[in-house]
Amino acid sequence: MRNDLQFLEEVDNYLSGSMNSSEKLAFENTINQNAELKEVFETQRDLIDAAKRKALLAEIESVAAGFHGTSWIAANAKWILSVLVVGAIAVSAIFIFSVEENNMASNSHEPLGDTTNKLVSGVNFDTNETEKISIPEGVTPVDNQEEEEPDFTFFPVSNDLSFFPTFREFNRLKFEDQSHSQVEESQVDYTVVQSKKINTKIYNRSASFPDGNLELKTFVNKNLKYPLEAASKNIEGNVKVDFIVDQEGNISEVTAQCFNLNKANGDFSEPFSAVQMFFNKKVSRAFEEEALRMMELMPIWTYATNNRGKAIVSEVRLYFDFNYPSETIVYQLEESTEKKEKFGGFKYE
Amino acid sequence: MTDKKIISLIRNGNRNRAIKELYGLYPKVKKGVLSNGGTEDDAREVFHDSLVLLIEKIEKPDFELTSKLSTFLYGINHFKWMNEMRKQQKSPETRWNDAIQVKAEEVDYDEERDELLKSLAKVLNTVSDKCKKIITLFYYQKKKMTEIAVELEFSSVNSAKTQKYKCMERAIKLGRELVKDKSEVSL
């Protein structure tokens, strides 16, 4: 009896690894000499393993019980999350739209000519283009009230609905401008440089900086020196640069125009008035010169191609936003802004 | 959570969190079992058994990470379920999504021993509740006999030790009989 108890403890010590090597050897010897002891040892070892396994399984099951208790949420977490995200996007989209439409509605207090100018310059209506064209001229849809209703509940501007020109009416005004421009442009001879309108439709690839727009930004910020005149007066400026990229990627016929100046004052800076612009001609010229210098430093560009993959001449417009003291931003607008400027009058020109 | 972190959790005795983490792999296993003629209960059983095997393997001091834990777990689940199907004499369809086919040696799966331990667990069910508590505390939670004596209100450490010895003696006796029966049947 006493002997058996001792053996049991020895087995425990052996299995838990608390024996030193000589004790281990001695124990293994005694087991190997006695077949019955060996059997007892094996049974005890297996029993201990079984007990451990049982306890582990119990623990797993207790954890699992918690999982299966809340399994509906756990299993559908992905779906719930995605639904929430989609919902949030939808809500924010509705919100943004309502704000934009409201801006338009509030603009309509001013005389009509003025509002169209503001609209054209301030709001990006490129996305509405297809919608605009689909509406026949001269027709003013009547079912606008329903569309506009959410805006008024959001931002009650006025209760008198008939006072406002509707959103569609604005579109129609713009549409007239567009049709006008189409007629005019079709009379232009495109033999030398094709217009951008055709570029976007026919070409598969537009001209770009060799390694993409991000690289363009790093390239410019590496080489750009903020004009001293502007820095001393604490003025920021926006410059647009037009140039032509030929079939080999060479840049030619570069023109730069500084179309806006403002005080470097974070995001809340007001653009300069025409008078202020006039008195700061030197600064705007410095910006233009700096932009032109950048263009001289440019490497050979990736030329544009048509839908047959053939290299073609294309016109590119880059915008330089000189920010002081943060870094300068360079970007290319996806679509031409030419038309807006021609007929709407660009805000800063 | 990385595999290494799960392993360290298990080794430091924080099995609970590790199990929670590993349970994230359950849906895939469930899908696999359900699409191969099993029920949800089957899936849970197979998954739990596989978790046991995985955790046991990690707790061994000579464990080395040779593949991702998830691969190992999917593999062992697949293997176990195929075995189960064979036992039920159904031809297993091999439509087990995303599981890498593994061999028994690779996952170190010893079916005979698995069976033996299952029947020994039944033996352990026959001992008294106090015995079960002592065995679990001592072997699974690795508590010292002095702590167990306090926790289970034995008069002294020695009486606790004697009690444990009696429990084990009885279990060993039953276990040996069971093993003998089995060997006779197989002969």
pLDDT in tens, A147-160: 444 444 444 444 55
What are phi and psi for residue A241, nearest 5 degrees? -120, 120
- Interface A-B, measured as beta-carbon pairs within 8 A, has a size of 90
The band of B153, judged by pLDDT with boundaries at 50, 70 and 90, is confident
Residue of chain A whose Cα is closest to the Cα of B171: A47
B31 with B120, same domain: the answer is: no
Mark yes or no for CB contact B120/A56 under 8 Å. no
Average pLDDT, stretch A193-203? 47
Q: Write out the two tokens for B178.
A: 């069971």
Instruction: Report pLDDT digits (tens) over A223-242.
Output: 888 888 888 888 888 898 98
- Domain check: are B19 and B105 in the same one? yes
Residue type, A200: T
In the block, which residue shows the tokens 């900086």? A209
CB B149 within 8 A of CB B157: yes
Query: Which CATH number belongs to the domain containing residue B48 in this structure?
Result: 1.10.1740
Q: Do A57 and B48 touch (CB under 8 A)?
A: yes
DSSP class per residue in A168-188: HHHHHHHHHHHHHHHHHHHTS
Domain endpoint, select from B59, B74, B109? B109
Asked if B127 and B98 sit in the same domain, the reply is no
pLDDT at A62 over 50: yes
**Banded pLDDT at A190 (limits 50, 70, 90):** low
- Residue B108 zone, left/alpha/beta (φ > 0; ψ -120 to 50; rest): left
| Contact between A117 and A343 (Cβ < 8 Å) | no
- Percent of the residues in chain A that have a pLDDT greater than 90, as a whole number: 3
Residues B18 and B89 in one domain: yes
A185 Cβ contact list (under 8 Å, min separation 6): A195, A197
The answer on B137 and B103 residing in a single domain is no
CA-to-CA dists, residue A106 to A21, A92, A98, A167, angstroms = 91, 21, 12, 11
Whether residues B14 and B84 fall in one domain: yes
Q: Residue A154: its pLDDT value, please?
A: 47
The whole-angstrom separation of Cα A242 and Cα A239 is: 10
Q: How confident is the model at residue A167 (pLDDT cuts 50, 70, 90)?
A: low
Do residues B50 and B15 share a domain?
A: yes
What is the dihedral angle through the alpha carbons of A148, A153, A159, A161, rounded to the nearest 10 degrees? 0
Q: pLDDT over 70 for what percent of chain A? A: 60
Judge if B104 and B117 occupy the same domain: no
Say yes or no: B31 contacts chain A, CB-CB below 8 A: no
Q: Report the SS3 class of residue A315.
A: strand
- Residues in Cβ contact with B53 at an 8 Å cutoff, skipping those fewer than 6 apart: B76, B107, B109
More confidently predicted of A222 and A79: A222
Report chain B's mean pLDDT, rounded to a whole number. 80
Which residues between 140 and 179 in chain B have a beta carbon less than 8 angstroms from any beta carbon of chain A?
140-142, 161-162, 165, 168-169, 171-172, 175-176, 179
Report the alpha-carbon distance of residue A89 to residue B145 in Å, rounded: 61
Return the residue in B50, B138, B139 with the most chain A beta carbons within 10 A, the one to mutate for interface testing.
B139
Q: Is the pLDDT of residue A79 over 60?
A: yes
Paired sense of beta strands A311-312 and A304-305, if any: antiparallel
Set of chain B residues whose Cβ sits within 8 Å of the Cβ of A64: 19, 23, 44, 48
Q: Could you tell me if B93 and B168 lie in one domain?
A: no
What's the CA gap between B12 and B59, in Å, rounded? 10
Q: Using an 8 Å CB-CB cutoff, list chain B residues near A67.
A: 20, 23, 26
In chain B, the largest separation of any two C-alpha atoms, in whole Å, equals: 59
In the prediction, which pLDDT does A121 show? 46
- B76 token code pair: 């062992």
Count: domains in chain B: 2
Yes or no, beta carbons of A53 and B117 under 8 Å apart: yes
Q: Residue type for A221, please? A: N
- The SS3 call for residue A238 is strand
CB contact under 8 A, B56 and A60: no
Structure confidence by residue, pLDDT tens digits, A20-54 = 888 888 888 888 888 888 888 888 888 888 888 88
**Residue with structure tokens 């021609």?**
A342
End-to-end CA distance of chain A: 108
Residue A16 pLDDT = 79
Per-residue DSSP letter, B153: T
Residue of chain B whose Cα is closest to the Cα of A41 = B172
Hey, are the CB atoms on B117 and A61 less than 8 Å from each other?
no
Backbone angles phi, psi at A328, to 5 degrees: -80, 140
Q: Based on the fold, state whether residues B39 and B99 are members of the same structural domain.
A: yes
The pLDDT, as a whole number, for residue B67 is: 76
B88 and B136: one domain? Answer: no
pLDDT at A170: 52
Q: State the DSSP H helix or E strand holding residue B72, giving kind and residue range, or none if neither.
A: helix B69-87
Residue finishing a domain among B57, B74, B109: B109
Same domain, B46 and B77: yes
Last residue of a domain, one of B65, B88, B109: B109
Q: B121 is in which domain, residue-wise?
A: 113-186
Task: Compute the mean pLDDT over every residue in chain A, rounded to the nearest whole number.
Answer: 70
Residue B59 reports pLDDT greater than 50: yes
Contacts B52 to A, Cβ<8 Å: 53, 56-57, 60
- Return the pLDDT at A200: 44
Q: How confident is the model at residue A68 (pLDDT cuts 50, 70, 90)?
A: low
- Where is mean pLDDT largest: A56-65, A96-105, A334-343? A56-65
In the 8-state DSSP scheme, what is residue A343? I
At A228, is the secondary structure helix, strand, or coil?
Answer: helix
Which residue type, as a one-letter code, is found at position B6?
I
Between B19, B118, B140, which is nearest A60 by CB? B19
